[in-house]
Amino acid sequence: MATLDIGGVTVQRDRPVPMRDGVVLAADIYSPSGAHEPLPILIQRTPYNKLFAQTGVYQHPAWYARRGYVVVVQDTRGRFASGGDFEPYAHEAEDGADTVGWAAALPGTTGRVGTFGFSYAGMNQLLAAGLRPPALACMAVGCAGSDFHDGWTYRGGALQLAFILSWTIQALAGPDAARQDRDAARRVRDIATNVPQALKRPLTAWLQSGEFPRFFADWIEHEARDGYCASLVSSTLHRDSAVPCRHVTGWYDIFVEGGVRNFQLLSTQSPAAAAQHLVVGPWQHVPWMTVNGIIDHGPTAENPIDELQLRWFDRWLKERPLNDSWSRVRYFLMGADCWQEAANWPPHPQSCVLHLHSSGCAGSRLSDGRLLIDPPLDQPPDIFVYDPGDPVPSIGGASCCSADVAPIGAFDQRGVESRNDVLVYTSPTLTDDCDVIGAVELHLHAASDAVDTDWTAKLVDVHPDGTAINICDGILRARYRQSPSCPQPLVPGDVHAYRISLGVTAMRFKAGHAIRLEVSSSNFPCYDANPNTGGRLATEEPIDARVATQIVYHQPGRESRLVLTVGESRPFFEP
Protein backbone atom coordinates (compact mmCIF):
# COMPACT_ATOMS: atom_id res chain seq x y z
CA MET A 1 0.00 0.00 0.00
CA ALA A 2 1.62 3.26 -1.19
CA THR A 3 1.04 6.82 0.07
CA LEU A 4 1.74 10.02 -1.87
CA ASP A 5 0.87 13.69 -1.79
CA ILE A 6 -0.66 15.51 -4.76
CA GLY A 7 -1.03 19.22 -4.15
CA GLY A 8 -2.23 19.14 -0.57
CA VAL A 9 -4.13 15.88 -0.89
CA THR A 10 -2.83 12.65 0.62
CA VAL A 11 -3.49 9.54 -1.46
CA GLN A 12 -3.39 6.02 -0.04
CA ARG A 13 -3.25 3.45 -2.84
CA ASP A 14 -4.74 -0.03 -2.75
CA ARG A 15 -6.31 -0.05 0.70
CA PRO A 16 -7.83 -3.53 1.23
CA VAL A 17 -11.62 -3.57 1.71
CA PRO A 18 -12.98 -6.95 2.91
CA MET A 19 -16.37 -8.14 1.66
CA ARG A 20 -18.79 -10.36 3.57
CA ASP A 21 -17.81 -13.45 1.56
CA GLY A 22 -14.07 -13.00 2.17
CA VAL A 23 -13.16 -11.40 -1.19
CA VAL A 24 -10.92 -8.35 -0.78
CA LEU A 25 -11.41 -5.29 -2.99
CA ALA A 26 -8.89 -2.48 -3.46
CA ALA A 27 -9.54 1.24 -2.95
CA ASP A 28 -7.62 4.49 -3.18
CA ILE A 29 -8.36 7.10 -0.50
CA TYR A 30 -7.95 10.84 -1.14
CA SER A 31 -7.86 13.04 1.99
CA PRO A 32 -7.09 16.76 2.33
CA SER A 33 -3.76 17.10 4.12
CA GLY A 34 -3.91 18.61 7.58
CA ALA A 35 -7.71 18.38 8.04
CA HIS A 36 -8.59 19.50 11.60
CA GLU A 37 -12.09 18.07 11.86
CA PRO A 38 -13.88 14.89 10.76
CA LEU A 39 -14.97 14.94 7.11
CA PRO A 40 -17.79 13.21 5.22
CA ILE A 41 -16.99 10.51 2.68
CA LEU A 42 -17.61 10.21 -1.08
CA ILE A 43 -17.39 6.79 -2.73
CA GLN A 44 -17.04 5.87 -6.38
CA ARG A 45 -16.99 2.16 -7.24
CA THR A 46 -15.87 1.63 -10.83
CA PRO A 47 -15.03 -1.32 -13.09
CA TYR A 48 -13.06 1.03 -15.38
CA ASN A 49 -9.88 1.40 -13.24
CA LYS A 50 -9.89 3.45 -10.06
CA LEU A 51 -6.80 5.35 -11.26
CA PHE A 52 -8.95 7.02 -13.93
CA ALA A 53 -11.84 7.60 -11.49
CA GLN A 54 -14.16 8.46 -14.43
CA THR A 55 -12.34 11.76 -15.00
CA GLY A 56 -13.71 11.80 -18.55
CA VAL A 57 -16.77 13.55 -17.10
CA TYR A 58 -15.88 14.39 -13.46
CA GLN A 59 -13.11 16.38 -11.85
CA HIS A 60 -10.29 14.35 -10.32
CA PRO A 61 -11.00 12.97 -6.80
CA ALA A 62 -8.42 15.43 -5.46
CA TRP A 63 -10.76 18.28 -6.54
CA TYR A 64 -13.47 16.95 -4.21
CA ALA A 65 -10.95 16.23 -1.43
CA ARG A 66 -9.75 19.85 -1.48
CA ARG A 67 -13.36 20.91 -0.90
CA GLY A 68 -13.64 19.02 2.33
CA TYR A 69 -14.26 15.36 1.58
CA VAL A 70 -12.53 12.03 2.03
CA VAL A 71 -12.89 10.38 -1.38
CA VAL A 72 -12.78 6.59 -1.79
CA VAL A 73 -12.38 5.22 -5.33
CA GLN A 74 -12.61 1.45 -5.54
CA ASP A 75 -12.09 -1.15 -8.27
CA THR A 76 -15.19 -3.33 -8.32
CA ARG A 77 -14.95 -7.09 -7.83
CA GLY A 78 -12.73 -8.84 -10.35
CA ARG A 79 -11.46 -5.59 -11.88
CA PHE A 80 -7.87 -4.33 -11.90
CA ALA A 81 -6.48 -4.38 -8.33
CA SER A 82 -9.54 -6.00 -6.70
CA GLY A 83 -9.97 -9.69 -5.99
CA GLY A 84 -12.77 -12.02 -7.04
CA ASP A 85 -14.36 -12.73 -10.41
CA PHE A 86 -16.14 -10.11 -12.49
CA GLU A 87 -19.80 -10.94 -13.05
CA PRO A 88 -21.64 -7.77 -14.10
CA TYR A 89 -24.00 -6.60 -11.32
CA ALA A 90 -24.08 -9.99 -9.60
CA HIS A 91 -22.36 -8.79 -6.39
CA GLU A 92 -22.74 -5.02 -6.59
CA ALA A 93 -25.55 -4.63 -4.03
CA GLU A 94 -23.68 -6.46 -1.26
CA ASP A 95 -20.23 -5.17 -2.23
CA GLY A 96 -21.54 -1.60 -2.36
CA ALA A 97 -23.26 -1.86 1.03
CA ASP A 98 -20.14 -3.45 2.58
CA THR A 99 -17.94 -0.68 1.17
CA VAL A 100 -20.24 2.02 2.57
CA GLY A 101 -20.05 0.41 6.01
CA TRP A 102 -16.26 0.06 5.80
CA ALA A 103 -15.76 3.68 4.69
CA ALA A 104 -18.05 5.03 7.42
CA ALA A 105 -15.64 3.60 10.03
CA LEU A 106 -12.53 5.27 8.57
CA PRO A 107 -10.65 7.44 11.08
CA GLY A 108 -11.04 11.18 10.60
CA THR A 109 -14.49 10.90 9.02
CA THR A 110 -18.00 11.78 10.15
CA GLY A 111 -19.38 8.40 9.12
CA ARG A 112 -21.76 10.03 6.60
CA VAL A 113 -21.38 8.71 3.06
CA GLY A 114 -22.36 9.93 -0.41
CA THR A 115 -21.77 8.03 -3.63
CA PHE A 116 -21.19 9.13 -7.22
CA GLY A 117 -20.31 7.68 -10.60
CA PHE A 118 -21.87 7.12 -14.01
CA SER A 119 -22.84 4.19 -16.23
CA TYR A 120 -21.96 0.94 -14.41
CA ALA A 121 -20.75 3.08 -11.51
CA GLY A 122 -24.19 4.68 -11.46
CA MET A 123 -26.23 1.50 -11.47
CA ASN A 124 -24.18 -0.11 -8.73
CA GLN A 125 -25.09 2.81 -6.44
CA LEU A 126 -28.79 2.09 -6.90
CA LEU A 127 -28.25 -1.59 -6.19
CA ALA A 128 -26.37 -0.85 -2.97
CA ALA A 129 -29.00 1.69 -1.89
CA GLY A 130 -31.62 -1.03 -2.18
CA LEU A 131 -30.01 -2.71 0.84
CA ARG A 132 -30.27 0.53 2.85
CA PRO A 133 -26.78 0.71 4.40
CA PRO A 134 -27.24 3.02 7.42
CA ALA A 135 -24.35 5.38 6.61
CA LEU A 136 -25.48 6.12 3.04
CA ALA A 137 -26.93 9.65 3.06
CA CYS A 138 -27.13 10.58 -0.65
CA MET A 139 -26.24 9.57 -4.20
CA ALA A 140 -25.34 11.26 -7.48
CA VAL A 141 -26.18 8.69 -10.17
CA GLY A 142 -25.07 9.38 -13.74
CA CYS A 143 -26.22 7.71 -16.97
CA ALA A 144 -27.61 4.58 -15.32
CA GLY A 145 -30.19 2.16 -16.62
CA SER A 146 -33.15 1.04 -14.55
CA ASP A 147 -33.54 -2.46 -15.97
CA PHE A 148 -30.83 -4.95 -16.85
CA HIS A 149 -32.79 -6.56 -19.68
CA ASP A 150 -34.62 -3.74 -21.48
CA GLY A 151 -32.31 -0.78 -21.91
CA TRP A 152 -29.02 -2.55 -21.12
CA THR A 153 -28.68 -5.75 -23.10
CA TYR A 154 -31.82 -5.43 -25.22
CA ARG A 155 -34.22 -2.75 -26.32
CA GLY A 156 -37.67 -3.62 -27.55
CA GLY A 157 -36.49 -7.24 -27.69
CA ALA A 158 -33.57 -6.45 -30.05
CA LEU A 159 -29.98 -6.93 -28.94
CA GLN A 160 -28.02 -3.68 -28.41
CA LEU A 161 -25.19 -5.20 -30.40
CA ALA A 162 -22.76 -2.26 -30.74
CA PHE A 163 -22.95 -1.58 -27.03
CA ILE A 164 -22.60 -5.07 -25.60
CA LEU A 165 -19.83 -6.05 -28.01
CA SER A 166 -17.70 -2.93 -27.44
CA TRP A 167 -18.44 -2.98 -23.69
CA THR A 168 -17.42 -6.63 -23.37
CA ILE A 169 -14.16 -5.98 -25.22
CA GLN A 170 -13.51 -3.04 -22.89
CA ALA A 171 -14.36 -5.20 -19.87
CA LEU A 172 -11.83 -7.82 -21.00
CA ALA A 173 -8.98 -5.47 -21.78
CA GLY A 174 -8.12 -4.01 -18.37
CA PRO A 175 -7.76 -6.93 -15.97
CA ASP A 176 -5.95 -9.16 -18.48
CA ALA A 177 -3.24 -6.54 -18.88
CA ALA A 178 -3.21 -5.60 -15.19
CA ARG A 179 -2.78 -9.21 -14.12
CA GLN A 180 0.00 -9.79 -16.62
CA ASP A 181 -1.85 -12.36 -18.73
CA ARG A 182 0.00 -11.09 -21.75
CA ASP A 183 -1.33 -13.61 -24.27
CA ALA A 184 -4.93 -12.85 -23.29
CA ALA A 185 -4.18 -9.13 -23.41
CA ARG A 186 -2.81 -9.45 -26.96
CA ARG A 187 -5.89 -11.37 -28.13
CA VAL A 188 -8.22 -8.73 -26.72
CA ARG A 189 -6.13 -5.92 -28.16
CA ASP A 190 -6.29 -7.50 -31.60
CA ILE A 191 -10.09 -7.57 -31.36
CA ALA A 192 -10.27 -4.03 -29.95
CA THR A 193 -8.21 -2.56 -32.80
CA ASN A 194 -10.88 -3.61 -35.32
CA VAL A 195 -14.27 -3.74 -33.64
CA PRO A 196 -16.13 -3.08 -36.93
CA GLN A 197 -14.59 -6.29 -38.26
CA ALA A 198 -15.63 -8.07 -35.07
CA LEU A 199 -19.23 -7.05 -35.71
CA LYS A 200 -19.19 -9.02 -38.94
CA ARG A 201 -18.72 -12.25 -37.04
CA PRO A 202 -22.02 -13.94 -36.15
CA LEU A 203 -22.88 -14.18 -32.48
CA THR A 204 -22.66 -17.96 -32.70
CA ALA A 205 -18.99 -17.64 -33.66
CA TRP A 206 -18.24 -15.53 -30.57
CA LEU A 207 -20.11 -17.96 -28.34
CA GLN A 208 -18.22 -20.93 -29.73
CA SER A 209 -14.78 -19.28 -29.77
CA GLY A 210 -14.26 -19.21 -26.01
CA GLU A 211 -12.72 -15.74 -26.36
CA PHE A 212 -15.53 -13.97 -24.53
CA PRO A 213 -16.58 -14.44 -20.89
CA ARG A 214 -19.52 -16.42 -19.62
CA PHE A 215 -21.60 -13.32 -18.90
CA PHE A 216 -21.60 -12.47 -22.62
CA ALA A 217 -23.06 -15.88 -23.40
CA ASP A 218 -25.63 -15.38 -20.63
CA TRP A 219 -26.80 -12.13 -22.22
CA ILE A 220 -27.30 -13.82 -25.58
CA GLU A 221 -28.95 -16.93 -24.20
CA HIS A 222 -31.42 -14.98 -22.04
CA GLU A 223 -32.92 -12.90 -24.83
CA ALA A 224 -36.41 -13.16 -23.34
CA ARG A 225 -36.93 -11.58 -19.95
CA ASP A 226 -36.69 -14.28 -17.29
CA GLY A 227 -35.36 -15.02 -13.84
CA TYR A 228 -31.78 -14.30 -14.90
CA CYS A 229 -32.43 -10.55 -15.10
CA ALA A 230 -34.49 -10.59 -11.90
CA SER A 231 -31.52 -12.11 -10.09
CA LEU A 232 -29.42 -9.06 -11.00
CA VAL A 233 -31.88 -6.18 -10.49
CA SER A 234 -34.71 -6.64 -8.01
CA SER A 235 -38.20 -5.60 -9.08
CA THR A 236 -38.50 -3.80 -5.70
CA LEU A 237 -35.29 -1.81 -6.17
CA HIS A 238 -36.96 1.60 -6.31
CA ARG A 239 -39.20 0.90 -3.32
CA ASP A 240 -36.26 -0.36 -1.27
CA SER A 241 -34.08 2.73 -1.77
CA ALA A 242 -34.54 5.53 0.77
CA VAL A 243 -31.74 7.84 -0.32
CA PRO A 244 -31.83 11.36 -1.85
CA CYS A 245 -30.48 11.14 -5.37
CA ARG A 246 -29.47 13.48 -8.16
CA HIS A 247 -29.92 11.68 -11.49
CA VAL A 248 -27.90 12.83 -14.50
CA THR A 249 -28.21 11.69 -18.11
CA GLY A 250 -28.14 13.00 -21.70
CA TRP A 251 -30.60 13.01 -24.58
CA TYR A 252 -28.25 10.84 -26.67
CA ASP A 253 -27.23 8.61 -23.76
CA ILE A 254 -27.90 4.93 -24.40
CA PHE A 255 -29.49 4.78 -20.92
CA VAL A 256 -31.54 7.99 -21.08
CA GLU A 257 -34.86 6.16 -20.73
CA GLY A 258 -33.54 4.30 -17.70
CA GLY A 259 -32.20 7.47 -16.10
CA VAL A 260 -35.52 9.26 -16.48
CA ARG A 261 -37.40 6.17 -15.29
CA ASN A 262 -35.18 5.92 -12.19
CA PHE A 263 -36.12 9.48 -11.31
CA GLN A 264 -39.81 8.87 -11.96
CA LEU A 265 -39.98 5.60 -10.01
CA LEU A 266 -38.00 6.87 -7.04
CA SER A 267 -40.14 10.04 -7.06
CA THR A 268 -43.25 7.91 -6.53
CA GLN A 269 -42.06 4.77 -4.72
CA SER A 270 -39.08 5.71 -2.55
CA PRO A 271 -39.37 6.96 1.04
CA ALA A 272 -37.03 9.72 -0.21
CA ALA A 273 -39.41 10.59 -3.07
CA ALA A 274 -39.26 14.36 -2.51
CA ALA A 275 -35.45 14.35 -2.60
CA GLN A 276 -35.05 13.11 -6.18
CA HIS A 277 -33.60 15.55 -8.71
CA LEU A 278 -33.05 15.10 -12.46
CA VAL A 279 -30.57 16.77 -14.82
CA VAL A 280 -30.62 15.95 -18.57
CA GLY A 281 -28.12 17.57 -20.91
CA PRO A 282 -27.71 17.37 -24.72
CA TRP A 283 -24.95 14.81 -24.30
CA GLN A 284 -24.17 11.26 -25.32
CA HIS A 285 -23.09 8.60 -22.84
CA VAL A 286 -19.57 9.98 -22.72
CA PRO A 287 -18.18 12.63 -22.99
CA TRP A 288 -20.58 15.38 -21.84
CA MET A 289 -19.62 18.12 -24.29
CA THR A 290 -21.20 21.05 -26.10
CA VAL A 291 -20.62 19.34 -29.45
CA ASN A 292 -22.62 16.17 -30.01
CA GLY A 293 -22.13 14.55 -33.40
CA ILE A 294 -22.24 17.45 -35.85
CA ILE A 295 -24.36 19.74 -33.65
CA ASP A 296 -22.80 22.40 -31.40
CA HIS A 297 -25.24 23.34 -28.64
CA GLY A 298 -23.16 26.33 -27.55
CA PRO A 299 -21.55 27.35 -24.26
CA THR A 300 -24.72 26.84 -22.21
CA ALA A 301 -24.35 23.08 -22.83
CA GLU A 302 -21.05 22.90 -20.93
CA ASN A 303 -20.88 20.12 -18.33
CA PRO A 304 -21.97 21.65 -14.96
CA ILE A 305 -22.03 18.40 -12.99
CA ASP A 306 -19.10 18.84 -10.60
CA GLU A 307 -20.43 22.07 -9.13
CA LEU A 308 -23.95 20.64 -8.98
CA GLN A 309 -22.70 17.50 -7.25
CA LEU A 310 -20.65 19.49 -4.76
CA ARG A 311 -23.71 21.51 -3.74
CA TRP A 312 -25.73 18.27 -3.54
CA PHE A 313 -23.15 16.62 -1.28
CA ASP A 314 -22.81 19.75 0.87
CA ARG A 315 -26.58 19.69 1.40
CA TRP A 316 -26.89 16.06 2.52
CA LEU A 317 -23.46 15.42 4.05
CA LYS A 318 -22.67 18.81 5.62
CA GLU A 319 -26.25 19.99 6.26
CA ARG A 320 -25.75 23.19 4.30
CA PRO A 321 -28.62 24.86 2.40
CA LEU A 322 -28.92 23.58 -1.16
CA ASN A 323 -27.31 26.59 -2.81
CA ASP A 324 -28.92 25.73 -6.08
CA SER A 325 -31.23 28.01 -8.06
CA TRP A 326 -32.66 25.32 -10.32
CA SER A 327 -35.80 23.27 -9.73
CA ARG A 328 -36.09 19.49 -9.18
CA VAL A 329 -35.93 18.88 -12.94
CA ARG A 330 -33.48 20.68 -15.20
CA TYR A 331 -33.36 19.70 -18.84
CA PHE A 332 -31.60 21.09 -21.87
CA LEU A 333 -34.04 22.06 -24.63
CA MET A 334 -32.20 21.23 -27.84
CA GLY A 335 -32.97 23.48 -30.79
CA ALA A 336 -33.43 26.40 -28.39
CA ASP A 337 -30.08 25.52 -26.76
CA CYS A 338 -31.08 26.57 -23.27
CA TRP A 339 -31.79 24.99 -19.88
CA GLN A 340 -35.37 24.69 -18.71
CA GLU A 341 -36.79 23.88 -15.29
CA ALA A 342 -39.79 21.91 -14.09
CA ALA A 343 -41.20 20.41 -10.92
CA ASN A 344 -41.74 17.00 -12.51
CA TRP A 345 -41.12 15.03 -15.68
CA PRO A 346 -42.60 15.44 -18.19
CA PRO A 347 -43.42 19.10 -17.47
CA HIS A 348 -46.46 19.24 -19.79
CA PRO A 349 -47.77 15.68 -20.32
CA GLN A 350 -50.01 16.39 -23.29
CA SER A 351 -50.01 14.47 -26.54
CA CYS A 352 -50.05 15.51 -30.18
CA VAL A 353 -50.81 12.93 -32.87
CA LEU A 354 -49.44 13.08 -36.40
CA HIS A 355 -50.82 10.49 -38.84
CA LEU A 356 -48.83 8.74 -41.55
CA HIS A 357 -49.98 9.40 -45.12
CA SER A 358 -48.70 8.47 -48.57
CA SER A 359 -49.80 7.21 -51.97
CA GLY A 360 -47.77 4.06 -51.35
CA CYS A 361 -44.45 5.67 -52.27
CA ALA A 362 -42.97 6.69 -48.91
CA GLY A 363 -39.95 4.50 -49.56
CA SER A 364 -38.95 5.79 -52.97
CA ARG A 365 -36.47 8.53 -53.73
CA LEU A 366 -39.47 10.63 -54.80
CA SER A 367 -41.10 9.96 -51.43
CA ASP A 368 -44.52 11.49 -50.86
CA GLY A 369 -44.77 10.26 -47.27
CA ARG A 370 -46.39 12.89 -45.05
CA LEU A 371 -47.15 13.49 -41.37
CA LEU A 372 -50.49 15.26 -40.98
CA ILE A 373 -52.85 16.13 -38.14
CA ASP A 374 -55.83 14.65 -39.99
CA PRO A 375 -56.25 10.86 -40.07
CA PRO A 376 -55.86 9.19 -43.47
CA LEU A 377 -58.63 8.26 -45.86
CA ASP A 378 -58.29 5.05 -47.84
CA GLN A 379 -54.67 4.92 -49.05
CA PRO A 380 -52.49 2.15 -50.47
CA PRO A 381 -49.92 0.80 -47.98
CA ASP A 382 -46.19 1.38 -48.22
CA ILE A 383 -44.14 -1.70 -49.09
CA PHE A 384 -40.42 -2.27 -48.74
CA VAL A 385 -38.05 -5.22 -48.69
CA TYR A 386 -35.80 -5.85 -45.69
CA ASP A 387 -32.64 -7.87 -46.36
CA PRO A 388 -30.74 -8.88 -43.18
CA GLY A 389 -27.61 -9.12 -45.32
CA ASP A 390 -27.84 -5.41 -46.19
CA PRO A 391 -29.22 -3.68 -43.07
CA VAL A 392 -29.78 0.06 -42.76
CA PRO A 393 -26.57 1.50 -41.24
CA SER A 394 -26.61 3.26 -37.87
CA ILE A 395 -25.69 6.90 -38.50
CA GLY A 396 -25.83 8.45 -35.05
CA GLY A 397 -28.21 7.88 -32.21
CA ALA A 398 -27.97 6.87 -28.56
CA SER A 399 -25.45 4.07 -28.90
CA CYS A 400 -22.26 3.27 -27.03
CA CYS A 401 -19.33 3.00 -26.60
CA SER A 402 -17.12 3.37 -29.69
CA ALA A 403 -17.57 5.78 -32.60
CA ASP A 404 -15.56 3.30 -34.68
CA VAL A 405 -18.45 0.86 -34.35
CA ALA A 406 -21.26 3.31 -35.07
CA PRO A 407 -21.30 7.13 -35.06
CA ILE A 408 -22.90 8.34 -31.81
CA GLY A 409 -25.00 11.47 -31.42
CA ALA A 410 -26.65 13.81 -33.93
CA PHE A 411 -25.89 13.40 -37.66
CA ASP A 412 -27.40 14.15 -41.06
CA GLN A 413 -29.70 11.29 -42.07
CA ARG A 414 -30.17 12.14 -45.76
CA GLY A 415 -27.87 9.32 -46.88
CA VAL A 416 -29.92 6.77 -44.97
CA GLU A 417 -33.17 8.28 -46.21
CA SER A 418 -32.13 7.71 -49.82
CA ARG A 419 -32.51 3.95 -49.36
CA ASN A 420 -35.68 2.32 -50.66
CA ASP A 421 -35.96 0.22 -47.49
CA VAL A 422 -36.45 3.35 -45.35
CA LEU A 423 -39.93 4.88 -45.36
CA VAL A 424 -39.88 8.66 -44.90
CA TYR A 425 -42.83 10.73 -43.66
CA THR A 426 -42.41 14.50 -43.36
CA SER A 427 -44.70 17.16 -41.93
CA PRO A 428 -45.46 20.45 -43.65
CA THR A 429 -43.19 23.31 -42.67
CA LEU A 430 -43.79 24.59 -39.15
CA THR A 431 -45.10 28.14 -38.91
CA ASP A 432 -44.22 28.41 -35.20
CA ASP A 433 -41.76 26.76 -32.87
CA CYS A 434 -42.93 23.40 -31.51
CA ASP A 435 -41.40 21.89 -28.36
CA VAL A 436 -41.44 18.09 -28.11
CA ILE A 437 -40.72 17.39 -24.43
CA GLY A 438 -41.22 13.86 -23.15
CA ALA A 439 -41.92 10.44 -24.59
CA VAL A 440 -42.16 9.75 -28.33
CA GLU A 441 -44.04 6.69 -29.61
CA LEU A 442 -45.05 5.21 -32.95
CA HIS A 443 -48.32 3.29 -33.20
CA LEU A 444 -47.84 1.21 -36.32
CA HIS A 445 -50.18 -1.06 -38.26
CA ALA A 446 -47.98 -3.39 -40.27
CA ALA A 447 -47.53 -6.87 -41.71
CA SER A 448 -44.65 -9.04 -42.85
CA ASP A 449 -44.36 -12.25 -44.86
CA ALA A 450 -41.80 -13.52 -42.30
CA VAL A 451 -42.41 -15.37 -39.03
CA ASP A 452 -40.45 -12.66 -37.20
CA THR A 453 -38.96 -9.28 -38.06
CA ASP A 454 -38.05 -5.89 -36.58
CA TRP A 455 -39.70 -2.49 -36.86
CA THR A 456 -37.55 0.60 -36.37
CA ALA A 457 -38.51 4.25 -36.09
CA LYS A 458 -36.57 7.51 -35.92
CA LEU A 459 -37.65 11.09 -35.16
CA VAL A 460 -35.81 13.64 -37.31
CA ASP A 461 -35.55 17.44 -37.36
CA VAL A 462 -35.53 18.71 -40.98
CA HIS A 463 -33.78 22.06 -41.39
CA PRO A 464 -34.70 24.60 -44.08
CA ASP A 465 -31.64 23.59 -46.14
CA GLY A 466 -32.71 19.93 -46.05
CA THR A 467 -30.31 18.76 -43.35
CA ALA A 468 -32.06 15.98 -41.43
CA ILE A 469 -30.84 15.53 -37.85
CA ASN A 470 -31.78 12.43 -35.83
CA ILE A 471 -33.37 13.22 -32.45
CA CYS A 472 -34.38 9.85 -30.96
CA ASP A 473 -35.15 6.36 -32.22
CA GLY A 474 -36.54 2.97 -31.23
CA ILE A 475 -36.99 -0.63 -32.25
CA LEU A 476 -39.41 -3.47 -31.58
CA ARG A 477 -38.79 -7.14 -32.32
CA ALA A 478 -42.11 -8.43 -33.61
CA ARG A 479 -42.14 -11.65 -31.62
CA TYR A 480 -41.93 -9.59 -28.41
CA ARG A 481 -44.77 -7.28 -29.44
CA GLN A 482 -46.99 -8.37 -26.52
CA SER A 483 -44.44 -9.27 -23.86
CA PRO A 484 -40.64 -9.28 -23.45
CA SER A 485 -41.06 -12.56 -21.54
CA CYS A 486 -43.13 -14.53 -24.02
CA PRO A 487 -42.11 -14.53 -27.70
CA GLN A 488 -44.92 -15.14 -30.19
CA PRO A 489 -44.13 -15.82 -33.85
CA LEU A 490 -45.96 -13.99 -36.59
CA VAL A 491 -48.40 -15.56 -38.99
CA PRO A 492 -47.02 -14.33 -42.34
CA GLY A 493 -49.30 -11.69 -43.79
CA ASP A 494 -51.26 -10.99 -40.59
CA VAL A 495 -51.64 -7.32 -39.69
CA HIS A 496 -50.63 -6.34 -36.16
CA ALA A 497 -50.73 -3.11 -34.16
CA TYR A 498 -47.26 -2.31 -32.78
CA ARG A 499 -46.29 0.30 -30.19
CA ILE A 500 -42.68 1.34 -30.70
CA SER A 501 -41.03 3.54 -28.08
CA LEU A 502 -38.62 6.10 -29.50
CA GLY A 503 -37.53 7.07 -25.99
CA VAL A 504 -37.62 10.56 -24.52
CA THR A 505 -36.33 13.91 -25.69
CA ALA A 506 -36.58 17.68 -25.30
CA MET A 507 -36.37 19.28 -28.72
CA ARG A 508 -37.55 22.58 -30.17
CA PHE A 509 -38.53 22.13 -33.79
CA LYS A 510 -38.16 25.69 -35.00
CA ALA A 511 -40.43 27.61 -37.31
CA GLY A 512 -39.29 26.89 -40.87
CA HIS A 513 -38.26 23.34 -39.93
CA ALA A 514 -40.28 20.15 -40.39
CA ILE A 515 -40.86 17.03 -38.30
CA ARG A 516 -39.91 13.75 -39.95
CA LEU A 517 -40.37 10.08 -39.16
CA GLU A 518 -38.29 7.25 -40.61
CA VAL A 519 -39.66 3.69 -40.53
CA SER A 520 -37.64 0.61 -41.45
CA SER A 521 -36.66 -2.82 -40.13
CA SER A 522 -33.00 -2.43 -39.21
CA ASN A 523 -30.55 -0.04 -37.55
CA PHE A 524 -27.23 -1.87 -37.61
CA PRO A 525 -24.97 -2.19 -35.66
CA CYS A 526 -26.81 -0.33 -32.91
CA TYR A 527 -29.07 -3.38 -32.93
CA ASP A 528 -28.50 -6.83 -34.35
CA ALA A 529 -30.02 -7.43 -37.78
CA ASN A 530 -33.04 -9.71 -37.35
CA PRO A 531 -32.69 -12.75 -39.68
CA ASN A 532 -36.53 -12.90 -39.94
CA THR A 533 -36.61 -16.57 -38.93
CA GLY A 534 -37.79 -16.38 -35.33
CA GLY A 535 -34.77 -18.45 -34.24
CA ARG A 536 -32.80 -17.88 -31.05
CA LEU A 537 -29.81 -15.54 -31.21
CA ALA A 538 -27.58 -18.17 -29.62
CA THR A 539 -28.17 -20.67 -32.43
CA GLU A 540 -29.00 -18.67 -35.58
CA GLU A 541 -26.42 -18.58 -38.40
CA PRO A 542 -26.27 -15.93 -41.17
CA ILE A 543 -27.03 -18.62 -43.74
CA ASP A 544 -30.42 -19.10 -42.07
CA ALA A 545 -31.52 -15.50 -42.74
CA ARG A 546 -34.33 -14.74 -45.17
CA VAL A 547 -35.52 -11.62 -46.95
CA ALA A 548 -38.84 -10.17 -45.75
CA THR A 549 -41.44 -8.07 -47.53
CA GLN A 550 -42.81 -5.44 -45.15
CA ILE A 551 -46.14 -3.60 -45.40
CA VAL A 552 -47.04 -0.42 -43.48
CA TYR A 553 -50.70 0.60 -43.43
CA HIS A 554 -52.33 4.01 -43.10
CA GLN A 555 -56.04 3.80 -43.76
CA PRO A 556 -59.26 3.88 -41.70
CA GLY A 557 -59.15 1.12 -39.10
CA ARG A 558 -55.42 0.64 -39.74
CA GLU A 559 -54.08 4.09 -38.99
CA SER A 560 -50.39 4.47 -38.20
CA ARG A 561 -49.54 7.51 -36.12
CA LEU A 562 -46.67 9.26 -34.40
CA VAL A 563 -47.52 10.31 -30.83
CA LEU A 564 -45.47 13.21 -29.47
CA THR A 565 -45.43 14.61 -25.94
CA VAL A 566 -45.47 18.35 -26.52
CA GLY A 567 -44.90 21.41 -24.39
CA GLU A 568 -47.10 24.46 -24.28
CA SER A 569 -46.44 25.09 -27.98
CA ARG A 570 -48.21 22.65 -30.33
CA PRO A 571 -47.30 22.17 -34.00
CA PHE A 572 -48.85 24.51 -36.54
CA PHE A 573 -48.07 23.94 -40.19
CA GLU A 574 -48.17 25.83 -43.42
CA PRO A 575 -51.36 25.00 -45.36
State the Cα–Cα distance between residues 260 and 250, nearest whole angstrom: 10
User: Among this protein's residues, is 119 annotated catalytic?
Assistant: yes
Q: CA-CA-CA-CA torsion for 269, 270, 273, 276, nearest 10 degrees?
A: -110
Region of 137 (left: φ > 0; alpha: ψ -120 to 50; beta: rest) is: alpha
Name which of 186, 15, 34 is nearest 108 in CA terms: 34
Judged on CB neighbours under 10 Å (0-12, 13-18, 19+), 323 is exposed
- Three-class secondary structure of residue 516 per DSSP: strand
Please count the other Cβ atoms lying within 10 Å of the Cβ belonging to residue 320. 11
Q: Alpha-carbon distance 387 to 266, whole Å?
A: 42
Whether 441 contacts 498, CB under 8 Å: no
Alpha helices in 73-223 (DSSP H): 92-104, 120-129, 161-178, 182-192, 195-199, 203-209, 214-221
Of the listed 60, 238, 285, 513, which one is catalytic? 285
Q: Is 513 a catalytic residue?
A: no
Determine contact, residues 398/501, Cβ cutoff 8 Å. Answer: no
Q: Do 23 and 52 contact (CB within 8 A), yes or no?
A: no
Which one is catalytic: 95, 253, 454, 461? 253
In this structure, the dihedral spanned by the alpha carbons of residues 413, 414, 419 and 421, taken in order and rounded to 10 degrees, is 40
Is residue 285 annotated as part of the catalytic site, yes or no?
A: yes
Query: Rounded to a whole number, what is the distance in angstroms from the first to the last CA of the chain?
Result: 73
The torsion angle over the Cα atoms of residues 141, 143, 148 and 154, rounded to 10 degrees, is 170
DSSP codes, 9-50: EEEEEEEEEE-TTS-EEEEEEEEETT--S-EEEEEEEESS-T
Helix axes of 161-178 and 182-192: crossing angle, nearest 10 degrees: 150
Q: Which long-range contacts (CB under 8 A, 24 or more apart) does 546-549 make?
A: 546/388, 546/450, 547/385, 547/386, 547/387, 547/388, 548/385, 548/386, 548/448, 548/449, 548/450, 548/453, 548/521, 549/383, 549/384, 549/385, 549/386, 549/448, 549/449
Q: Which position among 82, 119, 267, 427 bears the catalytic label?
A: 119
Catalytic residues: 119, 253, 285
